[in-house]
């Protein structure tokens, strides 16, 4: 039996890296019922050098849903300092989506060449929230070496809205110019979808990167209001000790979360994000 990692999934075949230059094209056995994701670690039975059958999916350490990728070690949420203009609510939701998948993300602000002051502002804000923040410009090849130094030995995903420069950054990181980079339409100032498949790229042994197209924020409406605080690492420590154990930190008296906001220990913008999401969940509940 051989173990390997799914690099891509195409036409019902799974292409598995077993540590050899050639990927092994695998089919799944009928007895395997679970969905097999890019990033999954498998046990396979080799049939010759480059074909195989999947015998077992090994337990997952982490899992993102959209796009579905398993076993990521670190994830950078990429946003642009400008074009597309960053919304903090969207950024918060993306960061929370990663926490929900079991990954504490870092933040990477690209296109710093377009708006350095805004990038610095975001860096200061999100560092206070407990995220590592990196300022880069793929265009000016600035800050790239610092990112590259964080990759060895890990599976790293780059996620973020369309047009923020994920593929551009990866090309710089890997010294490759064959990754699809789309033009931002000058008229609507939004990126065109260019990257369509999740594919793990091998940088060297044990080091992989993933360009994740279509990464979008979770629909938090399907979660319970009481589960939201845990997705905000700067706020979570204040939960669980309010006067009411069922406290949702909105209008209840004796709330330590609100107290922390008043004392400046939690930034009001983050509390606002929390409130918006909890309120939309409550709103939904009112109608079911
Ligand atoms: N000014 C500036 N433009 C950049 C930078 N990085 C990327 N761009 C441009 O932004 C546009 C989108 O870049 P992509 O790398 O295709 O973005 P993406 O995030 O991969 O987009 P999708 O694949 O659609 O999700 C391209 O026109 C790039 O040339 C940067 O650092 N500065
Ligand atoms: Mg892309
Ligand atoms: Zn409370």
Ligand 1 within 6 A of 213 CB?
yes
Query: What percent of the chain shows pLDDT beyond 90?
Result: 69
Once rounded to an integer, what is the mean pLDDT over residues 208-237? 88
Which ligand 1 atom is nearest residue 136's CA? 31
The yes-or-no verdict on residue 157 having pLDDT over 80 is: yes
CATH number of the domain where residue 248 is located: 1.10.40.50
Evaluate whether residue 15 is within a structural domain: yes
Tokens of 138: 């793929």
Does one domain contain both 237 and 265?
yes
Q: Look at the chain and report how many structural domains it folds into.
A: 3
Evaluate whether residue 217 is within a structural domain: no
Does one domain contain both 145 and 173?
yes
Express each pLDDT in 129-144 by its tens digit.
Answer: 999 999 999 999 999 9
The yes-or-no verdict on residue 184 having pLDDT over 80 is: no
Once rounded to an integer, what is the mean pLDDT over residues 108-135? 98
User: Which pLDDT score, from 0 to 100, does residue 181 have?
Assistant: 56
Band of pLDDT at residue 175, cut at 50, 70 and 90: confident
Evaluate whether residue 164 is within a structural domain: yes
- Of 180, 212, 244, at which residue does a domain stop? 212
Which ligand 1 atom is nearest residue 183's CA? 27
CA of 284 relative to ligand 3 center, distance in Å: 21
Domain range for 136: 63-212
The yes-or-no verdict on residue 192 having pLDDT over 60 is: no
Express each pLDDT in 225-268 by its tens digit.
Answer: 999 999 999 999 999 999 999 999 999 999 999 999 999 999 99
Q: Which residues pair with 205 in a beta bridge?
A: none
User: Which pLDDT score, from 0 to 100, does residue 183 have?
Assistant: 43
Once rounded to an integer, what is the mean pLDDT over residues 202-211? 86
Is 97 buried (19+), middle (13-18) or exposed (0-12) by CB count in 10 A? buried
Does one domain contain both 75 and 152?
yes
User: Which pLDDT score, from 0 to 100, does residue 205 have?
Assistant: 83
Express each pLDDT in 76-107 by its tens digit.
Answer: 999 999 999 999 999 999 999 999 988 999 99
Ligand 1 within 6 A of 184 CB?
yes
């Amino acid at each position: 039996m051989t173990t390997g990692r799914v690099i891509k999934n195409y036409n019902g075949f799974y292409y598995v890296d077993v540590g050899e230059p050639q990927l092994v094209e695998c089919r799944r056995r009928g007895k395997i019922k679970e969905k097999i994701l890019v990033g999954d670690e498998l046990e396979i039975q080799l049939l010759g050098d480059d074909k195989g059958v999947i015998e077992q999916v090994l337990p997952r350490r982490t899992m993102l849903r959209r796009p579905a990728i398993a076993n990521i070690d670190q994830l950078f949420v990429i946003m642009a300092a400008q074009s597309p203009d960053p919304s903090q609510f969207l950024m918060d939701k993306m960061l929370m989506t990663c926490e929900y998948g079991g990954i504490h993300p870092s933040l990477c602000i690209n296109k710093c060449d377009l708006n350095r002051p805004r990038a610095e502002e975001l860096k200061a804000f999100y560092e206070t929230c407990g995220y590592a923040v990196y300022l880069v410009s793929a265009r000016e090849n600035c800050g790239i070496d610092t990112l590259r130094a964080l990759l060895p030995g890990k599976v790293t995903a780059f996620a973020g809205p369309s047009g923020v420069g994920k593929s551009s950054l990866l090309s710089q990181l890997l010294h490759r110019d064959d990754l699809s980079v789309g033009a931002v339409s000058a008229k609507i100032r939004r990126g065109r979808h260019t990257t369509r498949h999740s594919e793990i790229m091998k940088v060297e042994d044990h080091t992989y990167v993933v360009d994740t197209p279509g990464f979008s924020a979770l629909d938090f409406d399907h979660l319970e209001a009481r589960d939201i605080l845990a997705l905000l690492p700067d706020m979570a420590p204040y939960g669980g000790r309010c006067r009411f154990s069922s406290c949702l930190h909105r209008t209840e008296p004796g709330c330590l979360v609100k107290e922390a906001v008043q004392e400046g220990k939690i930034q009001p913008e983050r509390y606002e994000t929390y409130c918006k999401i909890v309120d939309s969940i409550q709103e939904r509940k009112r109608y079911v």
